[in-house]
Amino acid sequence: MIDEADARQVAQGAVDTGNAVLGPGRELNDGWFFPCVTKRGELLDGVVVNKTTRRVLRVTTYSPLSRDITLYDRGYHYHQYDLVVLAVDNVDEAVRVLHALHEVTTDTYYRNNRVYRVGRGLTEDEVRSRLSQLPCVFSGHFEMRIDELEQAREAGWFTFKLFEYRGKT
């Protein structure tokens, strides 16, 4: 386990200390949070250092984590996720929330003697189809949608686990 002083050193390596300084540390269950302020005192963002892995998560000013840093302790440690849906209690609400994540799928087709790969968002029908076979996985940059995921968790619309997205294997 990393202590505050070690976490501060790790966090300093993640920010441009010429233009910003780290504020006082705040201990979380899983990490240490340091607000990042300019030399004029404006809040820019913050940095969380995981207590176990020393991994750094930069918290952007407009993300849900900037409003409620305790979301970090609920598993929101990354910028890109694999969200595994384990159970669904309200299909319509689950489809609405998961569709709003804007997961991108790739359509591959052949035309004019060339192969094309075009990204597009999943349709509601595609989300509903995935939910018909559990567990199912949704992948993407969900950090700005944490509020909706937490609302779904609290309402019991669906049960899920979060993992760091590590690309195609």
Domain ranges of the chain: 4-74, 81-164
pLDDT at 92: 98
The Cα–Cα gap between 147 and 169 comes to 29
> How high is the pLDDT of residue 40?
63
Q: What is the pTM of this model?
A: 0.81
CA separation, residue 114 to residues 91, 108, 109, 110, 117 (Å): 39, 11, 8, 6, 10
Query: What are the residues whose beta carbons fall under 8 Å from the beta carbon of 165, sequence distance 6 or more?
Result: 78, 80, 81, 82, 139, 140
- Reference 97, options 165, 161, 150, 149; nearest CA is 149
**Residue 48 buriedness (CB in 10 A; 0-12 / 13-18 / 19+):** buried
- Alpha-carbon Rg for the chain in angstroms: 19
Please state, as a whole number, how many other Cβ atoms lie within 10 Å of the Cβ of residue 13. 11
**Nearest Cα to Cα of residue 96 among 149, 146, 47:** 149
* pLDDT at res. 53: 95
- Listed as own residue / partner, the contacts of 164-169 with beta carbons closer than 8 Å and 24 or more positions apart are 164/77, 164/78, 164/80, 164/81, 164/82, 165/78, 165/80, 165/81, 165/82, 165/139, 165/140, 166/82
* One pLDDT digit (tens) per residue for the chain, 169 residues: 999 999 999 998 888 767 778 889 999 999 999 998 766 655 568 899 999 999 999 898 788 998 899 999 999 999 899 999 999 999 999 999 999 999 988 899 999 999 999 999 999 999 999 999 999 999 999 888 999 999 999 999 999 999 999 876 5
CA 23, CA 62: separation in Å to the nearest integer?
A: 18
Residue 73, pLDDT score? 94
CA 34 to CA 148: how far, in whole Å? 25
